[in-house]
Structure 1
Amino acid sequence: MQKVEREMIFQAQTQGIMEGWLERLGAKLDHLFIKKGLLLVLVGFLLGRALILAKIAPFALPFFAAVFLMRKEKTGQAAIAVVLGALTTSIPSAGFTFASIGAFFIFYLIFSRISFDRVKVLPLNVLIASLATRLSLTYVFNHELVYYDIMMSIIEAGLGYILTLIFIQSVPLLSIRRRKQVLKNEEIICLIILLASVLTGTIGWSVYDVSVEHVLSRYLVMLFAFIGGAAIGSTVGVVTGLILSLANVASLYQMSLLAFSGLLGGLLKDGKKFGVGIGLLIGTLLIGLYGEGTTDLLPTILESCIAILIFLLTPKAAISKIATFIPGTEEHAQEQQQYMRKVRDVTAKRVEQFSTLFHALSNSFNYQGLTNKDEDDSREIDYFLSNVTEKTCQTCFRKTKCWEDNFNTTYDYMLEIMRECETNSSGPPNRTLQREWDNHCVKGARVYEEIKQELSFYHANQRLKKQVQESRRLVADQLLGVSQVMDNFAKEIQRERENHQHQEDQIIEALAGMGIELGQIDIYSLKSGNVDIELSIPYCNGTGEAEKVIAPMLSDIVGETIVVKKEDCAPFPHGYCQVALGSAKAFVVDTGVAHAAKGGAFVSGDCYSTIELGAGKYAIAISDGMGNGERAFLESNETLVLLQKILQSGIEEKVAIKSVNSVLSLRTTDEIFSTLDLAMIDLQDANVKFLKIGSSPSFIKRGESIKKIEASNLPMGIIQDFEVDVVSDQLKSGDILVMMSDGVFEGPSHVENYDVWMKRKLKEISTGDPQEIADILLEEVIRTSGQIQDDMTVIVAKIQHNIPKWASIPVYPSKKAL
């Protein structure tokens, strides 16, 4: 065992050393080739050698111009590289390259004075510099210009113009490290053209009759076919073969070989590297027999074998790094997913920081200091008495005797007078206290009057202070609620979408077995009670295929009721309809409302609301403004609107109600109050929470039994600080919830016990329809009272199990996803 452990430790250490060495080697190579510009030097050298038809050299100047525009600090290295590359072919070619660079600078200075857009002017600069240099050199050496020379110069300059546009896109890929950036299709093509142009510079190089350009071009095709598949492989083959055939017409058949090999290699990429290599061998045999016959087939096969060997020796890490930039590859998808995960984590972290900030602000507003309430009251009384003594005792000749010799006695007397004036402001004064104080103080009557006057300011300051405290508490509660919402939102962001590829395949297979074709399917969640699936189906012509067939089949597949949440039909035939499916709620609520204004008026002071919140909850609310008419209506309506907005934001119910109460109590000094009767029903388990603020009782009817729900809370807006009593209950399917305003509950005349009368009337109602119950109950109240004495509102809600319209369609057990 110890020997095995030592071997494992040795292997781990060896692997760590190798990984560290490879990482350091990669960093050094990256520094040498990218940062130091060695890669640009090698590419420039080969492009300086590249010729078309052994006469035209359109590659060197566009490459130099692109480096001058993108990496100005590497301009000297690029110029030396292309000139040296041209010098290996011939001295005239090197002279043309050197002269064209000089002409480029001359025309660049001219164009820089005309236009400031260097990117648009650069290709034209290359065209004019190349054309002028070629025509000038031809005229100097031949002493004449024939039509052929002019045409070849124009072709060379035109190719230079086009290659400049291409190299502007591709040179940054070789010189600047791109961070998690995807190559566009145009950039991929430009990069392939650049690489093929570089391979042109190897024409004429051979080792034991093995052409270097053939080996490298086939290796390039295999590399991209393995990374991008048949489409990318064949594209690279066509572009590379075309450029090589332009440089050497005798190699025209190479374009067919490379294109066909790229296609076969991409189709056989599932066989890994060996599959791509077999594709190249098959293409070499077929095209080689057609192009060169059996006599020259052996060197071609040897070149392909060498290319395959180099491809097999290529590190997997290098291939994966290249694949991250190619759209459609698995590495690219993982890179994008990693990038999105990083963005998600950063966003969640920022939201959490904001949540922490709001929580700290809430604590700051709630901070009341280290002193307690008794100390604050004592300090306020001291300030009060000091103001009184400042106006009465400062100029009195008995000041020293009262406040130095008999401080406690004087202080207690004044404090008792203050409390007496507070409790008995309008009644007759306390004769005993007044007589004792007159015996103690020579200015007793004046002190009495000053205390009474100062009390009004004292009470005003106390009210203002209390209002400020309530304002701070309101802000603190709101900030705390926002903090909780943002914290929940951050946790929701961090819930990464799970990979449901296997379940998607199973669902597609199961539906295909029933003859249903899916265009696309995305599974966001398969959590019980929170299934979220989006899919596209062929044009259904409004037949409801998703609701009648697909949703019932998915119900059997995932094991719970699935319904159509949203469906967007295709606007034209042969299109696709987008369908969103999700879990059905366990319970549904059917409501009925009946209301009437006082005296049959048009405007009622009662307001009601029934809304389904996004968290799977159903809210029923009634608000009764004080009084009747438009003013009461505005008050109750504003209460419900404000409550609805706060609840929809995700803030907890108790915090929402306390916030609304604080707003109502602080916004006006008028005695305008409103009641609130709120019921929050959970549609998954039918649990209900009642929050009653000065409202009438509610009733739950279950068969023949009637249950009363009530709570003791003052109406909203009367006091600033209050606790909300929450009454919870468990509803069942078939239960009927009856909520009403005080106009309905206390409406019947000549009734001693409203509870007994309401329970008896609810028992007598035989119908189960919520709207009929509401209408009957309101009519009974009006008939009993003989008139509409107050605003009346009654809401009846019936809770039932959610029974889907369509039963689930059974699928073969082997095809079920869960």
Structure 2
Amino acid sequence: MRNIKVVAELATISNQSVTSKHGKLKHTMEFFINSNFKLYVILGILGLLLGRAVILDFLNPFSIAFMAAAMIQELNLFVIGTSILLGVLSVGEKGILLKYLFTSLVFILMYVASHKIKANKKLAVSIAAALANFAAGYFIFYVQNYYLYDLLMIIIESILIAVLIFIYDCSIPIIKNYKNRRLLSAEEVVAVTIMAAFCFVGAEFFIAGLSVKNIFIIFIIMIFAYLGNTGTGAAVGIIMGIVQALSGSILPSAIGVYGLCGMMCGLLKNLGRFGCPLGFIISNALMTFYINGSTEVLIRFYEILAASMLFVVIPTSLIKRLSGYKTVIAGEYLKERSYSMRVKEHTIDRLSELSGVYRSLADTLKETVQEGSYFSQTDAAQIIDQVVGKTCSGCGLGSNCWKRDFYKSYQYLFNLLTTIENGGDPKRNDGFKAFKERCLKPEEIAEGLRYYYDMYRNGLSWKKKMNESRLLVSDQLKEVSAVVSDLALRIDMDEDFDRDMEELIMVGLDSEAVRVKDVIVTRAADALDIDIRMDSCGGKRECIRSIIPAVNRITGKKFNKKDMICDLIHSSICSIKLKEAHRYQIATGISRMNKSGTVSGDNYSFIELKDGKFMLALSDGMGAGPKAALESNTTITLLEKFLYAGFDKDVALKAINSMMLLKSNEETYSTIDMTVINQYTGEVEFVKVGAVSTFIKNEDGVQVIRTGTLPVGILSNIDVELVKKKLGDGDFVVMVTDGVLDCNKDIVDKERWLAEVIMNANTRNPQRLADEILQSCLDANGGVAPDDMTVMAAKIWEAM
């Protein structure tokens, strides 16, 4: 038994050992296939090549700049520094090696000493690297008895280091996220090209007498021109030409040859794979004959041929993968989109809102049509009262007819009036003889009944014509509403699309591995609106968790989602609408008291408009009760619709005034007290039409805003007074109706008294402030509301 146990224990130990070895082997294999390992292999190769890159015989700004950019990106400094050191060692120049070691030491010390400074890290590192290079170079050349030319070269090299740090800092993130990136901005394309180009400066190798560096440079120009356009090819060609000139491979006059060749590659790319090599060969031949007039080519034909063969045989799958970068430049992708469709969509939205306003006007006008064109008993009673008042008031038997025998006398006149209504002669009525025997003035009464009935019929006719006119106008407005819906292609849009911001957001989202279909950025007066279209996440709220934080980081602004519900364009595409967060937030409070036994004639509204503004409005209808409530409600409703649809305040007020004039034959009016606050700037506009004063409460006291205009619905033309002010953090705006201001009958200067009430209210809550103001006013009138009373308080505070 003991032997069996020993054998079992040995077997267990052996299995554990084998398992441990397999685990270590697996861990080692995972390390070598890990993305970080691949990344540092790529960065190590770049560091090696940039360490070898020397221009003007002794300048090497590329290595220090690459090390500094790696420190900004928080990469492994040991791997980067060692690869650069190997590259510098392979050059075989002791002076360059010494200068690199001394510069690196000084730079690292400066970085360690200043990395806690809360400033622009990229700028600080650039300045530190440039100063370290200058200090090291100056020290070395000082020991070696330098010339003025050497000092000038050190200054140029230090400036180049500072510039290259920004370029490499833009390139390294693309290398880090090369698997996730599909879009590059124009700046990123140039930065990657410059980095790749300078890598070839130190990559001078020859195979069969052909320069590997030259072949790859030509190949890169063809690739960028094929995937981009003529501009991309020319830009990359110029960059590669400059690199060749700096490395001493060509004369400076030949830089333009590479640019022209790149441009011709882009022009002939539509011919297919062979178009780019053909364009390169033709351009090189033409420039060769133009510059030196001989058959000695500027770019060797066999090197062009080798690069062309490499370009032609490159697998189609790799070309498709590269073309997946949306022609490399995000701006090209944005340019390919149809802006006409975007303008059309926004036009339809604007016109739909305009159509809704006209439809609302038509419905309101139709509601004012008064029904009842028949002769009612009430109308008969009014005519009889008028006749009796005129004819019987001076009659001696008046008291006997209308006090002792009222019902019989009333029946006689009613029967005569019925005869007149039916088109008959009252004097021939069967009961006229009996009536004549009782009345001293039967003829005058008969004529009076006919006269007042004719007056009634004329008035009824005019009322009918007025109703017909209103219905006609209502129908016309409905027709206008229908026509406006069809004017999408005829209206001049005022939308301002921000293409630079669209490109920035698309590239930024792509760099964070967030895939979007489209980005539309519209710039209003003070803010941005963003519409992002992407594959539907199936209700996982990816927009809240990923897109909005990413957009905030990319733009440096804060955005909020317009609607909590996503807009599904169809089953697979989701539209996310973002708006720039407001700098100022607004909280409101309302306190009301109706006149005893009546419906309040005051109406109010507060609504956030589309342009980042917040509207507060009060309307006080004439008198009190249902009629006043109807007038003020109509005014507020129309005001909301006009302003939300984007109409100017003057246009809205004039339209409302015209509507109120047409709305009723009777004298009706309502006041408008409107406050519009810009939530981005804090600017506020006070618009008053027949309204009482508004009050602004801040740390300095209470300011009174007053005007002197008539209410809407009285005159055909109204005067609109606009007062502009600036609000700050913690300010209050208090709006009241006349019932609040007039409640204290004993005070002459009512505005000053109410300002003191507002100032003495010790609260920062707008609802409590409104309640305290209303209670103070009620206390001043014995606890009774003399009129409809409404207090609206709004608090403004800075949220950003």
- TM-score, normalised relative to structure 1: 0.39
Please give the TM-score of this superposition, normalised by the length of structure 2: 0.40
